[in-house]
């Protein structure tokens, strides 16, 4: 079993709890993500994932596909 990697993604475009839930769902739905938590106040997603299955770029693409911007 490979080790998990943790990362923080700054997310713009979130305005409400529904927005943060949408980002959380987009990240949690990826195969290889073990946990995803979004802090709306800090506009940050905290993600724990398997680097053997995903890259940070994959996480960013999932957020962008949900309609939000990273960075």
**DSSP per-residue codes, 34-67:** EEEEEETTTTEEEEEE-TTT--HHHHHHHHHHTT
The CATH code of the domain that includes 42 is: 3.30.70.100
Q: How many domains does the chain have?
A: 1
Whether the pLDDT of residue 1 is over 60: the answer is: no
Residue 55's pLDDT is what? 96
pTM score, whole prediction: 0.93
Q: How many angstroms separate the CA atoms of 9 and 16, rounded?
A: 17
Whether the pLDDT of residue 7 is over 90: the answer is: yes
Residue 2's pLDDT is what? 66
Tokens found for residue 26: 């987009």
Residue 20's pLDDT is what? 96
The domain of 47 spans 5-70
pLDDT tens-digit profile of 20-55?
999 999 999 999 999 999 999 999 999 999 999 999
């Amino acid at each position: 079993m490979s080790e998990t990697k943790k990362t923080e993604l700054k997310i713009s475009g979130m305005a409400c709890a529904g927005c943060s839930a949408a980002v959380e769902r987009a990240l949690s739905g990826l195969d290889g993500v073990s946990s995803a938590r979004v802090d709306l106040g800090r506009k940050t997603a905290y993600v724990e994932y398997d680097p053997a299955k995903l890259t940070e770029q994959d996480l960013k693409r999932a957020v962008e596909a949900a309609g939000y911007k990273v960075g």
